[in-house]
């Protein structure tokens, strides 16, 4: 089963709060969010708005970008786990199999790389 975004966000927020040895009450008061709602967000039961996430991250003194990065890593790991299980259970006879390790060792584009897409040429637009 795939991990939902709200669950991954909640897990990340809870891990951060617990690592700081802070209570739900402390963080909810600082973020000006009800304790019950913060608990629901941490358990992945409620979708938090961007404003609410920003307030919680401010209360935890952690950049929102750090939380989102952790969540993206969690979601990426979830996708890789599903791919790995599908690859092991769904092989087609007579088809060459590529291991996930070989596929992941392929060259990757650096995340700082920018791509420029040129505007279509006049000849292409006329076609």
Cα 118 to Cα 21, 25, 53, 110, 123: the distances in Å are 51, 52, 36, 21, 14
- What is the residue-level pLDDT of the chain in tens, covering all 127 positions? 678 999 999 999 999 999 999 999 999 999 999 999 999 999 999 999 999 999 999 999 999 999 999 999 988 877 666 566 555 555 555 555 555 555 555 566 667 776 667 767 766 556 5
Return the sign of the alpha-carbon dihedral for residues 66, 67, 72, 73: positive
Rg (CA), the chain: 21
pTM of the entire predicted model: 0.63
């Amino acid at each position: 089963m795939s991990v939902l975004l709200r669950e991954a966000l909640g897990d990340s927020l809870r891990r951060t709060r617990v690592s700081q040895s802070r209570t739900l009450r402390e963080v909810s008061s600082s973020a000006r969010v009800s304790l019950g709602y913060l608990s629901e967000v941490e358990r992945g039961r409620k979708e938090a708005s961007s404003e609410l996430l920003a307030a919680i991250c401010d209360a935890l003194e952690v950049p929102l970008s750090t939380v989102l990065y952790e969540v993206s890593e969690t979601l990426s790991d979830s996708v890789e786990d599903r791919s790995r299980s599908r690859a092991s259970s769904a092989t087609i006879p007579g088809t060459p199999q590529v291991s996930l390790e070989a596929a992941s060792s392929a060259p990757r584009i650096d995340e700082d790389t920018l791509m420029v897409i040129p505007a279509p040429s006049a000849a292409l637009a006329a076609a």
